[in-house]
C-alpha cells in the first residue's frame, strides 16, 4: 500500500520553545531535502537514520526561514512504519506554519486528525486496542486523561483481564476434559469452587466498571448542574469559580441546550457546569424550565451543586428541589455566611433526611462576598470523585465506552453462570456463559477479534476519505 | 492378448471401509457411475477394532451422517445387539448414542447394500497408481505412461491403475485407504507387514501419491486383544445392560422396530499388579522402545499410555464386549496394547475375571501412511490436485464414525465436482461433521484426530437428538434424502412447534391440586398462576412428570416430547448459543479473495504470514482458527481487506 506523503505539526501550536513538523510517506525525505540546507550532506537522503542534522530551512528564493534540527527515520523503523522526517524548529506560530506551508508546496498533504496514528495502525505498528488508547491520548484535554491513555498502553487493565480470562479458560477446559474423559476426570465439587471463583471475578469486573465512571470523568469531566432558588447566589458562585486563580474558563460551543454550559478546571478536572442563570429569573424556576428539562439535567449530572441562601428561610421550593436529588452526588453550598443565619445547617440536613432519606449530606459554608469557601469546595470535589485515587499509578481505568460495554457483557455472563449453578444446570451449559465472558473480555484486550472495534477505529480515523 | 483392460467411469473410490462405503454410496446414489476398490470384498465395512458404533460425540456424527443421507446409522440399526444412550444423567448436549454391533452382520449387511446399489460396481483390486488427465493421454496399449513433458499447471485427476495394470478412467477419485498404506503391525518384537486383521497391506499407492506432490506422514493406532469368551469369569464383573427404551441411530428407522432383546457387556478394572507388569516391561513396548515412528492418538490411549500418563490412578476401566452373536470372541475395551504376547497374557490375567483367559487374537499396534489434511479444502478436495478427494483415516483421523462422516462428504463433493456443482460444506455451527472437517483441514494435528464433545463450540445446538432438524434439508437438497423422509421431518417439526406453543399458553392456577403436585416434587408452590413452560423450566420438574397436571396433553412420540422439553428447559442457553453462532457466521461470511497476496499485507507477523500462505484459508473465520495466526493478525487482515475494498 503506497500512500501519499502527509505533514503535520506534531507539537501543540503555541509560542513555545520548539515545534516539530512531522512528515510521513515515501516522498518525505525528498520533500524536506528541497527546503533543507545543511553543511554535512548535499542531499538529505544521505543522512543516517535517527540522527539529528543541523541546518536551515530555506524558501524558494533561498531566504532562510529558520535554524532547525532535522531527523530522518526510515521505514519501517518509524512511528508510521513509513519514511518519516521531523523538523525541529524554533517555536513561534508564524515560523512553524511557514515551514509547514513549504512542505505542502513541495508535495505533502496536511494530515487529517489522527492520520499518523492511522498509518501506524494500518501498517501494523500498533494494534487495535493501542490505537484506541492513542486516540484517547490525542483527544486528551487534561493531565489525568493523558495519563489514563498512557496507562492503557502500558497494560494495567490488560493484566487484570488476562487474569480473569486465565481462570475462566482453565475451568472451561477442565469441564470439557471431564466431558471427554469422564473415567479419569471428575467434576465432583466443581460447582462450589466455580461459584467462589466466579464471584471473585464478578468483583474484579465490578471494580473495573466502576473505574469507567472515573475514567469518564477523567476524559469528559464532571457534568455538574447548579440548582437553587433565585438570589441564592448561583451566578455569583459561578463567577467566583471562574475567577478563581486555579480555574480556566472555556466556552463549549453551542449544543442543543438552552442553558449555557461552561467548563471550569478544578483540581485538574473539568467541571462541565450547566448554568441555568438565563432562564431562572422567576419565582418558580422549576416551573419555568419545565420539570422534565430540569430532571433531564439532573439525571445526566454527575454532580449537583445546590446553592442555599442562609439568610432566608427554607420553603416549599427547597423541598421540591431536594425531592429531585435522590441518589445523586450533591454538594450543598451554604451561601451568604457573611449575613445573619436564618436557616441553620441542621435545617438543611433535616430537609434532606425527611424528603429523600439522606442523612450525610455534604454542606460547605460559603461566602461569595468574602470570597470564602473555595478551598473547601475544591477539596470536596477532590475527595468526592477520588481524584487522588485516579491520579495514583496503580489504579487501572477503563476509559472507552466500548471497553466498558464489553466488561459489562462479561459481567452479565458471569452472573448467568452463577444463576446456572444455583438452578442446578449441567456443567456443559455453564460453559456457554463462561465462554461468552471469556470472549467479551478478550475483546477488551484485543485477544478476540472484534470487528466492531475495527469499524469504530475506521470511523474515528475517517477511513475511506 | 496384448492390450490391457481400460474402463471408463465417473468416480473411483479407493477403499471399502467406513469412509469408502459412504463415499461410494453417495456418489452412486447421486447418479454417477462409481467403482469401489477393496483389497478384499470380505472386508467391506470391516470393524477391525471396537465392536461398537457411536459413543460420546461419535454418536452425533453417525446421526448427522444419517440425516444427510448416509448409510452407517441404518446399517447399525439393522445389526446392533445392545444400545445405550451415554451420559443420560448429564445435559442434553452430551447425550450420545452407542450401539454394540454384531461385527460380521454389520459387514455383511453393508456389503449387501453396496451390491444392490445402482450405478455402483465393487472391484476387488489394489489400486497402485493415480493417473492425471495428461497421464491418460499418454498411455500405450499396455497402460504404461509414455514419457512426456508435464505442464506446470496443477494436475487434474484422470483415472487409476490397479495391480493387474488395468486402468479405470474417471473424473474424480476419492481416497479412503484407511490404515492400509504401507501398513505394519506390531505386537512387541513381532512385526508383520500387513493391514488390519492380517489383511494385505497396500504398498504401491504411497509412491504414486508422493509423485503427485502429496505429502505423507505416518500415524499409528492400536487395538486390544480378543478373548475366548468361554475362558472369562463374568461373575467377577459388573454386568452392563442396554437401555430399556432403545433410540435408533437412523431418523428413518421406526423406533418400534428396534426394541429388541439385548446382550450384555461387562465392566471390570485393572489393578496395581496389572500396572506393575506393564511398567516392568515398558522397554519391550515398540512405542516406548522407539520402534514405532508413527504418532498415536492421545485420546484413545493404549493401556501402556494410560499407566504412564495417569500414574496416580490405581485402576482403569476394562469393558468386555461381545464381537457378535455367532462368535464367542470378546473384545477387551480399554486395554489396547503393543506389548509382546507374553506380557499381554500376563497383564490381562491380572484383571478380575480374566485370570484364566485365552487370547484368540493378540493386541497389536498398526502404523500406516496418511496425510496432513491441511492439504485439503473444506470440501475434502486436494488444494493442488483437481478431482482428487479423500476421507477417513487417510486424512489423519481415527474411528469408524469420523471416517464415515468424511467419506460421505468426500463422496458428495466428488459427485458435485463431476456434475459442476458447488461443494457442500457443513460449517462448525451446523454439525460435528463441520467441526471434524474444519479441524482437520485447518488446525495443526500431530496425532490421529478423534472427535470429542469439547471440540464442538456450539454443542448445545449440535445435539444428537436434533441432527435431522439441522441437516435433513441439506441432505434433501443434495439428493440423498427422499420426499418421504423430508415429510416425516416436516411433520415432526410441526408437532414440536405446536406443543411448545401449547406449553407456553397453558396457564395453571395456584390451586391445591397443582400445589400438592409441586410439593410432591419438592419445588416451591405457586402463589399465582403460571404457564406449563414456566414449570418445566424448574430443575425439579420434567416434561414427563408434568403430565400429572396436564390434562390436555396430546399423544406425542418420544422424539417430539424430547425436543419440546429441551427447547423449553434450556431456552435461555439455546438463544445465547444462537447469538454465538451469529458472531461465528459473521466471520465465516467474510470471504478472503482467492488471489490475496499475503506479502502485500504489511504488518502480518512472519509466522502468521507463512501459515496463511501455506493454508490459504477461504474466509476470515477459518483464518482465525489457524494455529499461529493471532487475533491481531486477523485484525490486520480485516483492516487490509477493508482498505483494499474501498
Nearest CA in chain A to B584: A449
Q: Tell which of B635, B636, B638 to mutate to test the A interface (max A CBs under 10 Å).
A: B635
Across the range B403-410, mean pLDDT stands at: 98
Across the range B284-297, mean pLDDT stands at: 74
A407 pLDDT more than 60 = yes
Question: Comparing C-alpha atoms, which of A73, A67, A63 is closest to residue A55?
Answer: A67
Report the complex ipTM.
Answer: 0.89
A2–B contact, CB cutoff 8 A = no
The domain A222-301+303-384 is placed in CATH, from the list 3.40.640.10, 3.40.309.10, 3.30.465.10, 3.40.50.300, at 3.40.50.300
A465 pLDDT more than 50 = no
Interval B626-636: pLDDT, tens: 988 988 788 77
Query: In the numeric block, which cell numbers belong to residue A156?
Result: 494495567
- Residues of chain A contacting residue B643, judged by C-beta atoms under 8 Å apart: 1, 122, 463
State the nearest Cα–Cα gap between A141 and chain B, in angstroms: 29
Interval B522-532: pLDDT, tens: 999 999 999 99
Q: Do the chains contact at B643 and A122, CB–CB below 8 Å?
A: yes
Q: Tell which of B631, B637, B640 to mutate to test the A interface (max A CBs under 10 Å).
A: B631
Chain A, window 426-465: residues with a beta carbon less than 8 angstroms from a chain B beta carbon = 426-429, 432-433, 435-436, 439, 442, 446-449, 451, 453-454, 458, 463-464
Q: Do the chains contact at A121 and B639, CB–CB below 8 Å?
A: yes
Element (H, E) at B483: helix B483-505
Question: Comparing C-alpha atoms, which of B281, B273, B290 is closest to residue B341?
Answer: B281
Rounded CA-CA distance A373/A305 in Å is 14
DSSP-assigned states of every residue in B357-408: --EEE--EEEEEEEE-GGGB-TTSBBSSSBTEEE-GGGGTB-SHHHHHHHHH
Whether the CA torsion B97, B100, B102, B104 is positive or negative: it is positive
Q: Which residue has the higher pLDDT, B118 or A189?
A: B118
What's the pLDDT at A1? 45
What's the pLDDT at B60? 98
pTM as predicted: 0.80
Residue A372: which pLDDT band, with cuts at 50, 70 and 90? Answer: confident
Q: Give the architecture-level CATH label for domain A6-120.
A: 2-Layer Sandwich (3.30)
Going along chain B from its start, the domains and CATH numbers come out as 6-178+375-478 (3.50.50.60), 226-365 (2.40.30.260), 484-577 (1.10.10.1800), 590-645 (1.10.150.570)
Rounded CA-CA distance A262/A225 in Å is 11
User: A32-41, A351-360, B377-386, B517-526 — which is least confidently predicted?
Assistant: A351-360
A296 pLDDT more than 90 = no
Query: ∠ at Cα B391 (B385, B397), nearest 5°?
Result: 120
Across the range B594-608, mean pLDDT stands at: 85
Interval A118-143: pLDDT, tens: 777 777 666 665 666 655 555 544 45
State the nearest Cα–Cα gap between A183 and chain B, in angstroms: 8
Of A121, A181, A429, which has the smallest distance from its Cβ to B573's Cβ?
Answer: A429
Largest Cα separation within chain B, whole Å, is 94
- Give the phi and the psi of residue B506 in degrees, each rounded to 5: -85, 115
A251 pLDDT more than 60 = no
Across the range A282-310, mean pLDDT stands at: 71
Across the range A32-46, mean pLDDT stands at: 89
User: A194-203, A226-235, A260-269, B462-471 — which is least confidently predicted?
Assistant: A260-269
What's the pLDDT at A247? 33
User: A227-236, A242-251, B229-238, B290-299 — which is least confidently predicted?
Assistant: A242-251
Q: Do the chains contact at A176 and B453, CB–CB below 8 Å?
A: yes
A423 pLDDT more than 80 = yes
Per-range mean pLDDT, top range of A318-322, A368-372, A435-439 = A435-439
Interval B304-346: pLDDT, tens: 989 988 888 899 999 999 999 999 999 999 999 889 999 999 9
- Residues of chain B contacting residue A165, judged by C-beta atoms under 8 Å apart: none
Q: In Å, how far are B51, B152, B399, B403 from B102, measured between CA atoms?
A: 7, 51, 17, 19
Query: Each residue of B351-372: b (16+ CB within 10 Å) or e?
Result: bebbeebebbbbbbbbbbbbbb
Residue with cell 487534561: A142
B639–A contact, CB cutoff 8 A = yes
- Residues of chain A contacting residue B639, judged by C-beta atoms under 8 Å apart: 121-122, 454, 458
Across the range B33-37, mean pLDDT stands at: 98
Rounded CA-CA distance B444/B611 in Å is 10
Q: Do the chains contact at B453 and A458, CB–CB below 8 Å?
A: no
SS3 B508: strand
Q: In Å, how far are B71, B73, B240 from B249, measured between CA atoms?
A: 10, 5, 20
- Residues of chain B contacting residue A81, judged by C-beta atoms under 8 Å apart: 602-603
- Residues of chain A contacting residue B624, judged by C-beta atoms under 8 Å apart: 449
Q: Where are the domains of chain A?
A: 6-120, 153-214+399-460, 222-301+303-384
Interval A162-221: pLDDT, tens: 899 999 999 998 998 888 887 777 888 888 999 999 999 999 998 888 777 766 676 677
Rounded CA-CA distance A123/A101 in Å is 27
Interval B570-599: pLDDT, tens: 999 999 999 999 999 999 999 999 889 999
A402 pLDDT more than 80 = no
Q: Tell which of A2, A187, A429, A431 to mutate to test the B interface (max B CBs under 10 Å).
A: A429
- Residues of chain A contacting residue B635, judged by C-beta atoms under 8 Å apart: 127-128, 446, 449, 453-454
Query: Each residue of B403-430: b (16+ CB within 10 Å) or e?
Result: bbbbbbbbbbbbbbbbeeeebbbbbbbb
Residue A458: which pLDDT band, with cuts at 50, 70 and 90? Answer: low
What's the pLDDT at A253? 31
- Give the phi and the psi of residue B270 in degrees, each rounded to 5: -75, 175
Rounded CA-CA distance A167/A172 in Å is 9
State the nearest Cα–Cα gap between B612 and chain A, in angstroms: 17
Size of interface A-B (CB pairs under 8 A): 107
Q: Do the chains contact at A463 and B317, CB–CB below 8 Å?
A: no
Nearest CA in chain A to B306: A184
Residue A288: which pLDDT band, with cuts at 50, 70 and 90? Answer: low
Q: Tell which of B429, B523, B572 to mutate to test the A interface (max A CBs under 10 Å).
A: B572
Of A429, A435, A454, which has the smallest distance from its Cβ to B642's Cβ?
Answer: A454
B52 pLDDT more than 60 = yes
B577–A contact, CB cutoff 8 A = yes
Residue B290: which pLDDT band, with cuts at 50, 70 and 90? Answer: confident
Residue B612: which pLDDT band, with cuts at 50, 70 and 90? Answer: very high
What's the pLDDT at A136? 57
What's the pLDDT at B202? 94
Q: Do the chains contact at A183 and B316, CB–CB below 8 Å?
A: yes
What's the pLDDT at A277? 43
Average pLDDT over chain A reads 78
Q: Which residue has the higher pLDDT, A123 or A344?
A: A344
Q: Which residue has the higher pLDDT, B378 or B187?
A: B378
Q: Do the chains contact at B539 and A425, CB–CB below 8 Å?
A: yes
The domain A153-214+399-460 is placed in CATH, from the list 3.40.1160.10, 3.40.50.720, 3.40.50.2300, 1.20.120.430, at 1.20.120.430
State the nearest Cα–Cα gap between B451 and chain A, in angstroms: 10
Q: Which residue has the higher pLDDT, B513 or A75?
A: B513
A393 pLDDT more than 60 = no
DSSP-assigned states of every residue in A258-301: SSEEEEEEETTEEEEEEE-GGG--SS-HHHHH-HHHHHHHHHH-
Are A232 and A318 in contact by the 8 Å Cβ rule? The answer is: no
A254 pLDDT more than 70 = no
What percent of chain B has pLDDT above 90?
A: 83
SS3 A353: helix
- Residues of chain A contacting residue B603, judged by C-beta atoms under 8 Å apart: 81, 123-125
- Residues of chain A contacting residue B636, judged by C-beta atoms under 8 Å apart: 124
Residue B228: which pLDDT band, with cuts at 50, 70 and 90? Answer: very high
A252 pLDDT more than 70 = no
State the nearest Cα–Cα gap between B362 and chain A, in angstroms: 25
A174–B contact, CB cutoff 8 A = no
Rounded CA-CA distance B332/B319 in Å is 6
Are A373 and A427 in contact by the 8 Å Cβ rule? The answer is: no
Nearest CA in chain B to A458: B639
State the nearest Cα–Cα gap between A136 and chain B, in angstroms: 20
What's the pLDDT at A289? 52
Average pLDDT over chain B reads 94
- Residues of chain B contacting residue A464, judged by C-beta atoms under 8 Å apart: 646
- Residues of chain B contacting residue A423, judged by C-beta atoms under 8 Å apart: 539
What percent of chain B has pLDDT above 70?
A: 99
Rounded CA-CA distance B493/A217 in Å is 54
Amino acid at each position: 500500500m503506497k500512500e501519499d506523503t502527509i505533514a503535520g505539526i506534531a507539537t501543540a501550536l503555541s509560542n513555545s520553545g520548539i515545534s516539530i513538523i512531522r512528515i510521513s510517506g515515501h516522498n518525505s525525505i525528498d520533500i524536506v531535502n528541497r527546503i533543507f540546507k545543511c553543511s554535512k550532506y548535499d542531499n538529505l537522503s544521505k543522512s543516517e537514520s535517527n540522527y539529528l542534522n543541523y541546518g536551515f530551512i530555506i524558501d524558494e528564493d533561498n531566504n532562510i526561514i529558520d535554524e532547525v534540527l532535522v531527523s530522518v527515520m526510515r521505514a519501517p523503523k518509524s512511528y508510521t512504519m513509513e519514511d518519516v522526517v521531523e523538523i525541529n524548529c524554533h517555536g513561534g506560530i508564524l515560523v512553524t506554519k511557514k515551514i509547514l506551508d513549504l512542505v505542502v508546496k513541495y508535495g505533502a498533504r496536511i494530515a487529517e486528525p489522527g492520520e499518523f496514528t492511522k498509518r501506524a495502525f494500518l501498517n501494523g505498528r500498533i494494534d487495535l486496542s493501542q490505537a484506541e488508547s492513542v486516540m484517547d491520548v490525542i483527544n486528551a484535554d487534561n493531565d489525568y486523561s493523558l495519563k489514563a491513555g498512557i496507562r492503557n498502553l502500558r497494560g494495567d487493565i490488560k493484566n487484570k483481564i488476562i487474569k480473569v480470562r486465565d481462570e475462566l479458560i482453565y475451568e472451561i477446559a477442565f469441564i470439557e476434559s471431564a466431558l471427554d474423559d469422564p473415567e479419569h476426570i471428575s467434576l465432583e465439587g466443581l460447582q462450589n469452587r466455580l461459584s467462589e471463583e466466579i464471584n471473585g471475578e464478578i468483583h474484579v469486573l465490578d471494580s473495573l466498571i466502576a473505574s469507567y465512571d472515573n475514567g469518564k470523568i477523567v476524559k469528559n469531566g464532571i457534568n455538574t448542574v447548579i440548582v437553587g432558588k433565585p438570589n441564592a447566589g448561583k451566578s455569583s458562585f459561578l463567577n467566583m469559580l471562574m475567577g478563581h486563580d486555579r480555574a480556566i474558563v472555556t466556552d463549549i460551543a453551542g449544543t442543543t441546550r438552552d442553558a449555557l454550559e461552561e467548563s471550569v478546571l478544578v483540581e485538574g478536572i473539568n467541571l462541565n457546569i450547566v448554568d441555568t442563570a438565563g432562564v431562572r429569573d422567576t419565582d418558580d424556576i422549576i416551573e419555568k424550565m419545565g420539570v422534565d428539562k430540569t430532571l433531564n439535567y439532573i439525571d445526566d449530572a454527575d454532580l449537583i451543586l445546590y446553592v442555599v441562601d442562609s439568610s432566608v428561610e427554607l420553603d416549599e421550593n427547597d423541598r421540591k428541589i431536594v425531592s429531585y436529588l435522590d441518589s445523586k452526588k450533591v454538594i450543598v453550598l451554604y451561601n451568604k455566611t457573611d449575613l445573619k443565619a436564618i436557616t441553620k445547617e441542621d435545617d438543611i440536613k433535616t430537609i434532606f433526611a425527611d424528603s429523600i432519606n439522606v442523612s450525610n449530606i455534604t454542606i460547605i459554608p460559603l461566602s461569595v462576598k468574602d470570597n470564602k469557601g473555595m478551598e473547601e469546595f475544591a477539596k470536596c470535589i477532590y475527595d468526592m470523585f477520588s481524584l487522588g485515587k485516579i491520579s495514583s499509578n496503580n489504579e487501572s481505568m477503563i476509559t472507552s465506552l466500548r471497553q466498558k460495554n464489553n466488561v459489562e457483557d462479561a459481567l452479565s455472563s458471569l452472573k448467568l453462570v452463577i444463576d446456572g449453578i444455583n438452578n442446578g444446570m449441567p456443567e456443559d451449559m455453564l460453559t456457554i456463559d463462561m465462554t461468552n465472558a471469556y470472549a467479551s473480555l478478550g475483546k477488551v484486550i484485543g485477544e478476540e477479534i472484534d470487528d466492531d472495534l475495527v469499524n469504530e477505529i475506521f470511523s474515528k480515523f475517517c477511513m475511506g476519505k | 492378448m496384448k492390450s490391457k483392460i481400460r474402463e471408463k467411469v465417473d468416480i473411483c473410490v479407493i477403499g471399502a471401509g467406513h469412509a469408502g462405503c459412504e463415499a461410494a454410496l453417495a456418489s452412486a446414489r447421486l447418479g454417477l457411475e462409481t467403482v469401489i476398490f477393496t483389497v478384499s470384498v470380505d472386508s467391506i465395512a470391516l470393524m477391525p477394532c471396537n465392536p461398537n458404533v457411536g459413543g460420546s460425540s461419535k454418536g452425533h456424527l453417525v446421526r448427522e451422517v444419517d440425516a444427510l443421507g448416509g448409510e452407517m446409522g441404518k446399517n447399525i440399526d439393522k445389526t446392533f445387539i445392545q444400545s445405550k444412550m451415554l451420559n443420560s444423567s448429564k445435559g442434553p448436549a452430551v447425550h450420545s448414542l452407542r450401539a454394540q454391533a454384531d461385527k460380521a452382520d454389520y459387514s455383511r449387511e453393508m456389503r449387501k447394500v453396496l451390491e444392490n446399489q445402482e450405478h455402483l460396481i465393487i472391484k476387488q483390486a489394489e489400486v497402485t497408481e493415480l493417473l492425471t488427465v495428461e497421464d491418460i493421454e499418454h498411455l500405450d496399449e499396455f497402460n504404461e505412461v509414455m514419457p512426456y513433458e508435464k505442464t506446470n499447471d496443477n494436475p487434474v485427476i484422470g483415472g487409476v491403475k490397479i495391480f493387474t495394470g488395468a486402468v479405470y478412467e474417471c473424473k474424480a477419485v476419492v481416497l479412503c485407504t484407511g490404515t492400509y498404506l504401507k501398513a505394519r503391525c506390531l505386537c512387541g518384537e513381532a512385526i508383520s507387514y500387513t493391514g488390519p486383521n492380517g489383511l494385505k497391506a497396500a504398498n504401491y499407492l504411497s509412491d504414486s501419491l508422493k509423485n503427485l506432490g502429496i505429502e505423507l506422514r505416518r500415524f499409528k493406532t492400536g487395538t486390544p486383544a480378543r478373548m475366548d469368551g468361554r475362558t472369562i469369569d463374568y461373575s467377577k464383573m459388573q454386568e452392563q445392560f442396554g437401555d430399556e427404551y432403545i433410540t435408533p441411530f437412523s431418523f428413518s428407522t421406526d423406533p418400534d422396530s428396534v426394541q429388541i432383546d439385548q446382550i450384555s457387556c461387562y465392566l471390570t478394572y485393572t489393578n496395581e499388579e496389572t500396572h506393575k507388569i506393564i511398567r516392568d516391561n515398558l522397554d519391550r513396548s515398540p512405542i516406548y522402545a522407539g520402534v514405532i515412528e508413527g504418532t498415536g492418538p492421545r485420546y484413545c490411549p493404549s493401556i501402556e499410555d494410560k499407566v504412564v500418563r495417569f500414574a496416580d490412578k490405581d485402576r482403569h476401566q476394562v469393558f468386555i464386549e461381545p464381537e457378535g452373536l455367532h462368535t464367542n470372541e470378546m473384545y477387551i475395551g480399554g486395554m489396547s496394547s503393543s506389548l509382546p504376547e507374553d506380557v499381554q497374557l500376563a497383564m490381562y490375567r491380572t484383571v478380575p475375571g480374566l485370570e484364566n483367559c485365552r487370547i484368540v487374537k493378540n493386541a497389536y499396534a498398526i502404523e500406516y501412511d496418511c496425510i496432513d489434511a491441511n492439504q485439503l479444502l473444506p470440501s475434502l478436495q486436494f488444494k493442488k490436485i483437481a478431482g482428487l478427494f479423500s476421507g477417513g483415516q487417510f486424512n489423519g483421523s481415527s474411528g469408524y464414525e469420523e471416517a464415515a462422516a468424511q467419506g460421505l462428504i468426500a463422496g458428495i463433493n466428488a459427485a458435485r465436482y463431476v456434475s459442476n456443482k458447488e461443494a457442500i460444506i457443513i460449517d462448525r455451527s451446523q454439525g460435528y461433521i463441520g467441526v471434524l472437517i474444519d479441524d482437520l483441514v485447518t488446525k495443526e494435528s500431530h496425532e490421529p484426530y478423534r472427535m470429542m464433545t469439547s471440540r464442538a463450540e456450539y454443542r448445545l445446538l449440535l445435539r444428537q437428538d436434533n441432527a435431522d432438524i439441522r441437516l435433513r434439508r441439506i441432505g434433501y437438497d443434495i439428493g440423498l434424502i427422499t420426499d418421504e423422509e423430508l415429510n416425516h421431518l416436516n411433520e415432526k417439526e410441526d408437532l414440536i412447534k405446536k406443543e411448545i406453543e401449547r406449553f407456553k399458553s397453558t396457564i395453571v392456577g395456584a390451586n391445591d391440586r397443582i400445589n400438592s403436585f409441586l410439593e410432591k416434587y419438592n419445588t416451591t408452590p405457586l402463589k399465582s398462576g403460571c404457564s406449563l413452560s414456566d414449570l418445566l423450566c424448574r430443575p425439579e420438574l420434567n416434561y414427563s412428570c408434568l403430565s400429572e397436571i396436564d390434562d390436555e396433553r396430546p399423544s406425542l412420540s418420544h422424539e417430539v416430547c424430547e425436543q419440546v422439553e429441551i427447547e423449553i428447559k434450556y431456552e435461555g442457553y439455546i438463544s445465547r448459543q444462537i447469538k454465538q453462532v451469529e458472531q461465528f457466521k459473521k466471520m465465516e461470511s467474510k470471504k478472503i479473495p482467492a488471489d490475496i497476496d499475503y506479502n502485500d499485507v504489511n504488518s502480518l507477523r512472519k509466522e502468521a504470514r507463512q501459515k496463511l500462505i501455506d493454508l490459504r484459508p477461504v474466509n476470515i473465520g477459518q483464518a482465525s482458527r489457524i494455529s499461529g495466526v493471532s487475533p491481531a493478525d486477523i485484525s490486520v487482515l480485516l483492516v487490509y481487506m477493508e482498505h483494499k475494498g474501498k
